[in-house]
C-alpha cells in the first residue's frame, strides 16, 4: 500500500481509522512499516493510536517538497 487518504469533507468521522484497521487486519502475523511527514500531526496521532511507534527519521524523504519523514513500525499482532 502506498497511500491512504480521506476526502477532507469526510475527515474526522473515523473513516481513516477504519481503513487503517482493515489494512492491519490484512497484514496479521507480520510487521508493518510506514513513512509519514514529520509535520502531519493528524496522521501521526492516528498511527500512534493504533500502536505504531516512531523508529527512524528520513531527511528530505519527500523529493518535491524536501520534507522529512518519520519511519514508524507496528507489530501486526498489537491491539489497535
Between CA 36 and CA 40 the distance in angstroms is 7
Place of cell 493504533: 50
Residues that are catalytic: 35, 47
Rounded to 10 degrees, what is the CA torsion of 44, 27, 62, 50?
0
Q: In this structure, what DSSP letter does residue 1 have? A: -
Amino acid at each position: 500500500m502506498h497511500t491512504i487518504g480521506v476526502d477532507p469533507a469526510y475527515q474526522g468521522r473515523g473513516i481513516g481509522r477504519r481503513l487503517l484497521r482493515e489494512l492491519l487486519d490484512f497484514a496479521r502475523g507480520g510487521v508493518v512499516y510506514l513513512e509519514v511527514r514529520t509535520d502531519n500531526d493528524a496522521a501521526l496521532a492516528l498511527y500512534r493510536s493504533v500502536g505504531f511507534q516512531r523508529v527512524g527519521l528520513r531527511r528530505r524523504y519527500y523529493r518535491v517538497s524536501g520534507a522529512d519523514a518519520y519511519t514508524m513500525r507496528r507489530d501486526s499482532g498489537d491491539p489497535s
